[in-house]
Amino acid sequence: MEKFIYGVILGSGGMALWNWMQAENISAAWYTWPLMALALALCTLTIHHFLASHAELEPKAAWVGLAIIGVPAVLVSSLVVSFFI
């Protein structure tokens, strides 16, 4: 059920982004979309690793994974956001 809710949230967010870009007449470069997919994949991997490590009772691994995977996720996400500003 969680994967379905996550998919609905991603789909709604993607549709809202697309509608906003169309309404404001904003065009994105070709490299924005792969970077956006990479940022989304890294954020998803970070959340999954953190929650799964906590479920396995490995809190240190959860926090280390959050730092190792989460920092690049934030950096790539900020790069993608800077293209829209």
pLDDT digits (tens, 9 = 90+) for 34-51: 999 999 999 999 999 999
Percentage above 70 pLDDT, the chain: 100
Mean pLDDT, the chain, as a whole number? 91
Counting as low any pLDDT under 70, the low residues of the chain are: none
Query: Exposure of 35 by Cβ count < 10 A (0-12 exposed, 13-18 middle, 19+ buried)?
Result: middle
Residue 77's domain spans which residues?
Answer: 2-84
The number of distinct structural domains making up the chain is: 1
User: 43: exposed, middle or buried (C-beta count within 10 Å: 0-12, 13-18, 19+)?
Assistant: middle
